[in-house]
Each structure stands twice: as C-alpha cells, then as structure tokens.
Amino acid sequence: MKQSNPEGPPDESLYPALHVDGHGSNAAAQQFRLQKIDELEAYVRSELDSRGRLYKKYHRAVNALDSTCAALGTVCIAAGAVGAGLLASGIRFVPGLAL
C-alpha cells in the first residue's frame, strides 16, 4: 500500500544536476551522440519503408491465397451436398458416388 508524503515533494532533486559546458570533451561527446542518433534514425526509417513494402507485397499474396482457399472450400461443400442428395434420392447412384 502506498504511503503519501504529507509535506509534498522534497525540495532537493533526487538526481544531481549535470553541468554541461560547451568546451572540450563534453561538446565532442555531445556531437558524437547526436551523430549516432541521426544514424540510428536514418536506419529505422529505411527499415520502416522496406518492411512496409514487403508487407504490401505479401499481403496481396495472402489475400489471393485466402480467396482461392475459400472458393475451393465452397465448391467442395456444394459438391458434397449434391452428392449426398443424389445418393439419398437414389436417382443416380454412380454420379452420387463421384461427387
């Protein structure tokens, strides 16, 4: 169970303040970090674009395969129903067995 602090938040910060000056190794380190961030951003953007194209390409193939499977399943069910009907009626025994 949480306990509330009746005095409110403390006046001093939990973390020490970092003093960054624009001279020396701090500026070089900051520039290096910014350069790496830019490189990573470019990489992520290129990956996003290539994966988007792959998704679009394979999504079409999956839709076509699903449509074909659904159509063939419907044909199979219809053929089975017609075959069962022919067998049950006794009209045509051989075509009923074929379907």
pTM flag (> 0.75):
no
In a domain, 1, yes or no: no
Coil/strand/helix, residue 9 = coil
pLDDT in tens, 31-50: 889 999 999 999 999 999 99
Q: What's the Cα-to-Cα distance from 90 to each of 80, 82, 85, 95, 99, rounded to whole Å? A: 15, 12, 9, 10, 14
In a domain, 10, yes or no: no
Number of domains in the chain: 1
Of 18 and 57, more confident: 57
Residue-range definition of the domain harbouring residue 77: 31-98
Per-residue pLDDT at 22 exceeds 60: no
Residue type, 13: S
Number of H helices, E strands in the chain: 2, 0
In a domain, 84, yes or no: yes
Per-residue pLDDT at 11 exceeds 70: no
